[in-house]
Each structure stands twice: as structure tokens, then as C-alpha cells.
A and B are shown apart, each in its own frame.
Chain A
Amino acid sequence: MTDALTLDGVSAARGDDVIWSQGSFTVSTGGIVGVIGPNGSGKTTLLEMILGLLPVATGRLTVLGAAPHRGNPRIGYVPQNYTAGIGEAIRCRDIVTLGRTGTRWGFGGRSGADRSAVDAALTAVSALDVAGRRVSQLSGGQQQRIAIAQALVGDPDLLLLDEPLANLDVRNQHEIVELLRDLHAARAVTILVVVHDLNPLLSILDGAIYLLDGHAHYGAIGDVVDSELLTHLYETPIKVVRTAQGDLFTRS
């Protein structure tokens, strides 16, 4: 089976500024993988390289067995603060439909297959009942569901989520995590989640890409949840606590 991501001496740069370098690791398909690191360490930059929006500065990056290229239909993508800019002008159903038809020329003319794919994606995120509402009329958690439905509608092999839990309250964070768990169980999809707080996702992550001291690494989640590593990563003292629900980490 092809790996989801293969990095071979990859470095990321914007202009002349090298953001991180020496990324050499493989992420196999089928897992849920966190992307962690302090602010400005290059988490979104990694996503942009996978999407083909930003060229790889050096080294070789392979995405699902091929070189990254813009418009890759095998990738679903939810940017950070995705729904904030969308507002009242469009219905949930339309925004999800655009995820499937938005690259075609012309207008109107949704096929039956388009319609059922949109319904299936909305059903997968439990948002079919709000499909007719405007995006702005939904709560933050519901908006995130719509965004995920749009990314799912193309039936991707790789799902990239940039801070899907940002600006959500604890209950909605939990619901989105449950949703990711369910989606992962139901589909053969590799999920890459950029997070600044690992805790809510710990129970579902198989591994994590961590950006430490200007270098990219990958580790199984058991190795990443380590007091010393996390303390180094976030430059603040962090203690890992074992609880009945699983591991949690906290500032010590």
C-alpha cells in the first residue's frame, strides 16, 4: 500500500526564510495524525506543501505516492478559520456542492450523482437537517461540520484539517473529535489534523508530526506524549498525567 506521506530531507521556506528543515519520515495510510508545534513553527506551511500551494524548498515530498500538485482530487482540505469568511451569503448545501462541482465551468446542472454525494457527505457529518440554512446561521461546531462535509464530498484519501477545534467550546471540540473518530472508522481515509492543543485529540491520534527547533519529526503517539519532549516543544514545563480516560498533559 502506498504511504500517505513520504518526506526525504524536506525543508520548508517562504521566500528566503527557512521555516523548518531536515524532515525525513513516512506517514503510512489509514491513521489519524496530529501536526503539532508552537505558533509560527510551520504547521500550515506543511499543509500548503502537501496541497501543492507552496513548492518544497529542498528534498523530496511524496503525497499518496505522487509529487504534490495543486488540485489533487484525492485530498480534502479545511483551512483554519474556514467558515469565518463565508457568512450569510450561501447555504450549507451550496458550499458542500461546490466542493464537488466548483472546479467545473458553467453553472447549475447538478447531476443526480452530485446530489447524492452531497447528501452522503452531509449525512456523514450529521448535518443533513441544516443543509438548507445559511452557513452564518449555524453555531461554530455546526459550521465546522459543514466545512468537513465539503472536504469529504470528493471522497478523499487524505483529509487535511487546519485547527478544526479552534474557537470551539469544550463540548463542540469533543463532538468534532467524535466525528473524526467515526469518519475514520467508516472510511479508508488518512486524517492529518493541525492542532495547538493535543489533549482533546489524544484518544484518537495514532501519531504526530512535530515541528521542533526548526526540524520536522514524526513519532507514534505513545512516543510523542512525553513530558520531556512536550516541554521542549512548547518551551513551557509540561507534565504527562495518566488517567482512567487515557493520557493527558498539563502545565506542571
Chain B
Amino acid sequence: MIHVLADVGYQSNWTEVLRAGFMRNAFIGGTLVAIASGLIGYFIVIRRDAFAAHALAHIGFPGATFAVLVGIPVTAGLALFCVSGALAIGALGKRVSNREVSTGTILAFATGLGVLFASLASENTSTVTSVLFGNLLAISQSQIRTFTAFTVGLAFVLAVIARPLLFASVDPQVAEAKGVAVRPLGIAFMVLLALAVTMAVQVVGTLLLFALVVTPAATALAITARPVAVVALGTGIGLAAVWAGLVIAVMFNLPPSFCVVTLAFLAWITTLAVTRRWRPARSGSGAHDRGHASHDRHHPESAELSI
């Protein structure tokens, strides 16, 4: 333990490390993931689909270890499992989050499969560690190319479907009646989420993904409810967490995932403390009824007449 602790601490050569090629990849990869997360995060929070993000991250774990086992790129394995999982969740709709026990059981099974694939591949526990906790410093050129394609695709599709998706997300009943294709949009959203999760798993890992994909958008939403402002602010918070997290990680030789997630957490908890939105539902009762008090006396009789 003491040996490990000795490695952690101020690194006098941190500016040199920051200039290394792998750091450049880390910054670019992290930036792409923060942008994708900021875009998708708003819809995750507004749809109350945070559980789906969590579930897809877990489904991605066996995908990544399976990829190592059969020798395909980790991104491909992750994408395969996440998109399949997304289609399944999308087809089942909201019922997934209402079935905690069955979904939890399936996620445990998925994680178990991940452990099996990892042990069959035998060679490395480092794969398991990097899938569970992310490995921003090992982002490769080919990963960056894939991330760029995913982020551009995600941004493009979201730009096209943003408005009906927002309508279907906050107001599915009326959207359906107005002719919006609520279910197909929900499935499209899940596939986009799967792409974002595929990227984010490689940056912060399965277990910490929530803090980068969901938390910045939730933080932004506590500050403003203007849709475009939430997306911009959420993306900004994610970018700040990734960039500052990387610098701090290098400066003090800490795991980048820890730094990124901690910064996102601090932004969130500070925002909650300042805006006092711990449990915001129906906070402002009373104040909005001013000016209507005079009606109180008019219809006392009908209170007893309801059947």
C-alpha cells in the first residue's frame, strides 16, 4: 500500500506528460464523448431513461470482453451488445424500468457473461479493469476515428429528430394523437444512446459511465430548463470535467476516470446545493395562486355534492 501511495502525488514533469501523443488522443477522445453525452444526456434526463443508460453500460461489459475473446475491436463488441440491448429495451418500452427485479437479474447475468468471456480470454485482467473503470489514456487513433464518426452521426440524427423526439419524450400521449411516431422515435433514441454508451464505456468505464453521460445534463437542467441552453451547458460541464480531470490526473498521477467523474459529481452537488433542487416537484405551491383568493367563498356547496 505504501508503495502505491508513493506514486500518487504531485508530478513535477506533468507539463511534459500533457504534451505526449497519448495525451492528445485522450483529450480528443474525451472531448468527443463529452459532446455526445451532452447531446444525448438532455434527452436521457427528460425521458427519465437514466436507468436505460445504466443498463446499456452493463450490457456493454460482456460485449467488450467478448470482443477481446474473439479478437475483434473492443468498440465493435461494445457496439454490438449495446445496440442489441438498446433495440430490446426500445421494443419493450417503458416496461423495462418498471420491472426492476427481472431487469436487475438480466444485468447481473450480463455481467456474469462478461466475467466468463474475460476468464476464457485468460490473458488479461487489465481488459476487465479498463472496461469497468475506463482507460482514457489508452485511446487509440482508430478509436478516435470511430468516436468521430459516432459523434457526427449522433449529432446529425439528433438534429433531425430533436423536436418530435422532445415532444414524444415529455408528452407521449398528445404527441401520439398529433401523429408523432412515438415508438419508432423511442427506438431511434435508444440506438443513439447505445452509440454514446459504447464511446463512454471506453472513457470512464461501465461502472462510472453514469457520471459522464447523465450527470452533466442533469446538472444543467437544474440550472435552466431552456432545451438548447441545457444541451449547451451540459456539454460544457462534460467538457470541463474531461479536460480538467485529465490535467489533474496527470498532475497528481491519479486515475483519469476518478478525476473526471469526481468533477462531474462536484458540479452536480454544488448546483443542487445552490439551486436547492433536491426534490423539486411541486415546490412553488401557494405563491402562484395569489389574486384568486376571492373565489374561495363562492362555491362552498358543491364540495359536498360530488358523486
> Which residues of A does B touch, CB under 8 Å?
51-53, 70-71, 75, 77-79, 82, 86-91, 94-95, 98-99, 101-108, 130, 133-134, 136-139, 141-142, 150-151, 170-171, 173-175, 197, 199-200, 234, 236, 238, 248-251
Contacts and interface: CB of A to CB of B under 8 A. Distances in A.
Interface string B263-307: 000000000000001001111111011001001101111111111
Given A95-B170, A138-B288, 14 more contacts: A90-B170, A90-B227, A101-B163, A102-B180, A103-B164, A103-B175, A103-B178, A103-B180, A105-B164, A170-B299, A171-B299, A234-B307, A249-B305, A250-B307
Interface centre among B171, B177, B284, B289 (most CB of A within 10 A): B177
16 contacts: A70-B176, A70-B179, A77-B177, A87-B281, A89-B221, A91-B226, A98-B163, A102-B166, A102-B167, A103-B164, A103-B180, A104-B163, A130-B288, A136-B281, A137-B288, A236-B307
A52 B281 CA distance: 33
- Which 8 interchain pairs have the tightest Cβ spacing? A71-B179, A102-B167, A107-B162, A137-B284, A79-B173, A89-B46, A51-B177, A98-B167
Nearest to A174: B299
Given A82-B173, A90-B225, A197 B306 contact: yes
Interface string B119-162: 00000000000000000000000000000000000000001111
Contacts of B225: 88-91, 94, 134
B139 to A, nearest CB: 30
B280 A88 contact: yes
A130 B163 CA distance: 22
Describe A's contact surface by its main secondary structure.
mixed
A139 B288 contact: yes
Interface residues of B, number: 48
B161 A95 contact: no
B285 to A, nearest CB: 6
Contacts of B106: none
Interface string B28-49: 0000000000000000011000
A138 B284 contact: yes
A171 B171 CA distance: 27
Interface centre among B45, B225, B227 (most CB of A within 10 A): B225
Nearest to B298: A174
A136 B163 contact: no
A86 B171 CA distance: 7
B177 A70 contact: yes
Contacts, number: 139
Contacts of A99: 174, 178
Interface of B: 45-46, 159-164, 166-167, 170-171, 173-180, 221, 225-228, 277, 280-286, 288-289, 292, 295-296, 298-307
B163 A106 contact: yes
Contact of B303 (A142, A170, A251): A170
Contacts of A94: 225-227
A205 to B, nearest CB: 15
Nearest to B168: A102
B302 A104 contact: no
Given A108-B228, A248-B305, A53 B163 contact: no
B292 A171 contact: yes
Interface centre among A90, A94, A197 (most CB of B within 10 A): A90
Contacts of A104: 163-164
A79 B304 CA distance: 26
Contacts of B299: 170-171, 174
B64 to A, nearest CB: 32
Nearest to A147: B174
A173 B286 CA distance: 16
A102 B179 CA distance: 10
Contacts of B221: 88-89
Given A94-B225, A103-B167, A106-B163, A199 B177 contact: no
A250 B306 CA distance: 7
Contacts of A130: 288
